[in-house]
Structures are given as structure tokens and as C-alpha cells.
Amino acid sequence: MPAPTQLPAVRSQWTELLEGGGEFESCLLAHVRERRWFGGKARRIRSLAVQSWFPVPGSLECAGILLLKVEYESAASEHYQLPVALVPAAEAPALPPQFVIARLRIEDRAEECVLFDAAASAGFANALLGGIAAGETWSGEDGALTMFATPALGRMGDAPLLPRVSGAEHSNTAILFGDKLILKFFRRIEPGVHPDLEIGRFLSARGFAHTPALAGGLLHTGKDGVQTSLGILSQFVAGSIDAWQFTMSALDVFFSRADKLPPSPQASQFEDAVGGIPGSVIHSMGDYAESARLLGERTAALHRCLASGCEDRDFSPQAVSAEGQRVCFDVMRSQTAASFRSLRDAMETLPAEMRQDAARVLEREDQVLASFAAAASQPPDGWDIRVHGDYHLGQVLWTGRDFLIIDFEGEPARPLAERRAKQSPLKDVAGMLRSFDYAAQAALLKSAGGMESHADYWSHWAGVIFLAAYIEGAKDCGFLPSSAAAFSAALRAQLVAKAGYELLYELNNRPRWARIPLRGILRLASW
């Protein structure tokens, strides 16, 4: 990691840098653009500006939260938050390197200091937790930071909790408090209610037991009265692992015991889910058959709860209309067609072993895109409801006995309004079915080779077991298409859209993984 930038000296405190503007903001941009949570790495950045800041009392000297605006050359601007604080340079080696922003000298002290991302500071974390527990409001130059707690926080007890920042870098930053609480500090922020906070409140109010309890949150209210969610505090489930890790372990066992070649699936997952699951399949899947069934049941319970808010305008189900259905599938088609264009542009740079699958996918483009017209042609049926929006095995915890569903923010790259929109619950179902396939293909990459048919068999039947349990758990609720033809067509379209989204992501971020959505699209083309 390169040495931190040397900023101009200040007389008494780092906040004097805010008056200088340009050089300090250039330093912040250099830091921000290297972070995992920054979403604009692939765009041409015009500028970064500090729009406002809030002091954080009682944590560290002059600690504060900066609200940043990033302008791009050919894309809409984005907003981020960055907590900052000072530490003497002699103490800087104890900081995680990725949290160091810059060095500067304070003339009144004649000492060298380091400006760093305060999310790595125990003092900063404790100040936030104390503010949430007390329901404090901190005033800034452009509004106020309001904190609140729910009754769940009181049930956690009042013993001191040692904070630590999570070592994993994601689109947000997680601060853990002992083995009881986790503060998700949103990095990219948008005006409006964050779906993770909104859905967490809704589920908690209805006593939904299959998600960690919401304990509190942080909200910025501007002088114009517009609120922006800055973070949420939730129960931390000690000893749990995410369902991706759990599933990968199960796949290791499955591959180690695989002997004879399993029969290739002949029908779609929907057809097999409603047609009955052979006992031989349950036996071959081992203990994971029960896990997939339970996950389908819990997913149905989530959707039943989210569809129960008839008195709440933001959660009340909406009957699918012919026009709404047409627009929905037209948008999916447009987005998937864009993924095909990116694949065509990337053909020459793809790894050689992937080009054959890529060519086969491009040959079937019209056939694949026709799935959206087929779904749109069905009579409108079912409801649009609030959904998870980015549902996969990494968004579920395995406690050793049960599954808990987490992270209701939706796809982070999508606009907030889109993530809060009501959608078909089959979006979540398709996300999990694709996640089973990703897990099987990821396990295949680690295997000795020659196990492709075993991976296809496992992902197909894990999805079938999940889907059968989901359909059973959601029956008679009204939010799913009532006819088999409409259900099958809508699910296939959702799967194609998800695979297209995955393909675009992999082409832009890790091309060698593009083989997974490519193979998925080829299987879907044969349904």
C-alpha cells in the first residue's frame, strides 16, 4: 500500500482543511476511490466535494462524519459518508492500513498526526452506540444527525461491549460490539428511507422471528427536512455462518461421495417442484435436502410477512396489472439485451475455454430474450410486494439449527427508489435458485475435474427442493401467479434476468467467473 498523502500543516485542528477545499478533497478522492465500498471505480470522476460534516462528541479529538458528493463525467452524482479522526503518528501503525487517509502536522502542537477513517476507532464506535442508546441528536452545519433505539437494544443488557471493525470489506462497513450487536455503517447514501432500516422496522413490528432483531439506527435530517439513513444497529448472531459457507461445506461432502454419473435433469425446476421429488434425490442430496427445504419454507414466511402490511401504504400489496407486467418484463429484456451486447464486445478478451459457451449463448440470444415476451403475454395475476431484492446464500445466516435472513438493502448499485419498489416475490426466488447454481459451480472449480454433471445435478435438485417448499409455504397467499403457465413463464424470465445481471457483473469484475452465468443461460434456453 502506498505511503499516505502529506497534507498541508494546520494551526490547531484538522477541520481547518475544510476551508482550503481543493487539496484536501483531492486527498479524500484518492482514498475513497480505492475502497471496496466505493461504487464509481469504473467511471470518470470529475470531482469530490465535502458538502457538510458533523462533529462526533465524546469519542476522539475532533472526530466527525463527512458527507461527500462525487461528480462523474457521464453519470449521475453519488453521495458517500466518511467518518474521520486524528491520531498521533506514533500510534498510526496500530491502524489497519486501508483506514489511513493522510498525514498532517499541527503547528500548535509541533507534532505529526494521521487522519484516518474513524470506523476503525473504538472511541468512535462507542460514541455512536451511546448516542443510539440515549436517542441523541447531534447538530451540524447542514442539519442534524438523529439516533434512535428500539426495545430490542434494551434486551441486550448493559454490560460494556468491546467494538471492532469487521475485517471483511463490502459495500458497507460493519462494526461489531462484542457478540451481541452489529452496526452497519452505510457508505453510499441517498435521500430517503433505506430499505434495510424500513424493512427491519416492519418485520420487527410484526414479530418476524427469522431475521436478527433491529436495535436502532442513525438518520441525517437536512435543513430542508429530507431524511437520509446513515446506518442501522442490529442483533449480532454469534457463532453463525452465512449460508454460502454452509452450502460450500455441504458440496464438499457431496462431491467427495459422488460415484456413478447422476442422471441429467430433463425438466425445468418448476416442473420438477410441482411434479414431486423422487426419494432417490432426497437420499443423494444427504442432509442438505432438509436445509434446502427449510430455506424455502423460511423464504415463503418472509414473503407472507412482507405481504401482510395492508394498512401501510409502503407495504400494502398491489395487484399486478397488464400494463405494469408489460413494463416490468420490457425493462428486464432491455437490461438483459445490454448484457448480451457487453458479451459480444468482450468476446476477444474472454479466456479461450469460455468462448465456445459465449458463442452458443449469443447464437440463442433471440430465444433467450423471447422469455420476457412469453411472460408478458400471460394474463396478469398475483401481487407485487416488498421483497428482499438481492436474495442469495450470502444474505442468509445458518445458526446451526435454523436460517436467519439478513441485509434487506437490495442491489446496492440500483437507485433507492427502485430498491424500495414493490416487485414480484419471484425475484427473490430466482435469486436463490441462481445462488444454488453459483455455489455448485464454485465448488466445481475447486474439484479435481470431471464433475460437471454432478454440479448440474446438485444445483438443479437443491433448487427444486427449495422451490417445492416455497410453493407449499406460500400457497393461498395470493401473491404468486395462480396458473402453472404464468408461474413457470414469470420464474423463467426472472431467472434469465438474474443470469444476465450476473453476466454483466462478471464481465466487468472477474471475467473467469463469467462461465457460471453463461452455463446458466444455456440451461435456461433449453427449458
Instruction: Render pLDDT for 201-220 as a digit per residue (tens, 0 to 9).
Output: 999 999 999 999 999 999 99
Name the percent of the chain lying above pLDDT 70. Answer: 98
**pLDDT confidence of residue 170:** 76
Q: What is the pLDDT of residue 372?
A: 97
How many Å apart are CA 441 and CA 435, to the nearest integer? 10
In the predicted model, is pLDDT for residue 371 greater than 70?
A: yes
Binned at pLDDT 50, 70 and 90, residue 497 comes out as: very high
User: Residues 300, 366: one domain?
Assistant: yes
Q: Which residue has the cell 458479451?
A: 343
Whether residues 56 and 132 share a domain: the answer is: no
Amino acid at 168: A
CA–CA dist 146, 227 (Å, integer) = 10
- Compute how many other C-beta atoms are within 10 angstroms of the C-beta atom of residue 373: 14
Cell readout for 196 is 434495510
User: Are 149 and 295 in the same domain?
Assistant: no
What's the pLDDT score for residue 367? 95
Is-contact 320 406, C-beta < 8 A? no
Here the CATH number for the domain that contains residue 493 is: 3.90.1200.10
Q: Are residues 107 and 153 in the same domain?
A: no
Is 141 or 486 the better-scoring residue by pLDDT?
486
At 448 the pLDDT is 64
Note whether 59 and 186 are same-domain residues. no
If you average pLDDT over residues 243-264, what whole number do you get? 88
Based on the structure, what is the number of domains in the chain?
A: 3
pLDDT by residue (tens digit) across 443-473?
Answer: 988 776 678 889 999 999 999 999 999 999 9
- By residue range, what is the domain housing residue 149? 123-235
Confidence at 13, pLDDT banded by 50, 70, 90: confident
Residues 161 and 115 reside in one and the same domain: no
pLDDT of res. 220: 93
Q: Tell me how far CA of residue 440 lies from CA of 74, 337, 346, 437, in angstroms.
A: 38, 26, 25, 5
pLDDT mean across residues, the chain = 91
Give the residue from 89, 120, 151 where a domain finishes.
Answer: 120
Strands (E), 56-117: 64-72, 78-88, 100-106, 111-117
**What's the CA gap between 181 and 198, in Å, rounded?**
18
Residue listed under C-alpha cell 473504538 = 122
**Inside any domain, residue 260:** no
Q: Give the three-class secondary structure for 94.
A: helix
pLDDT of res. 353: 85
Which residue, 77, 94, 120, sits at the end of a domain? 120
The continuous run of DSSP H or E covering 505 comes out as helix 484-509
Domain contains 67: yes
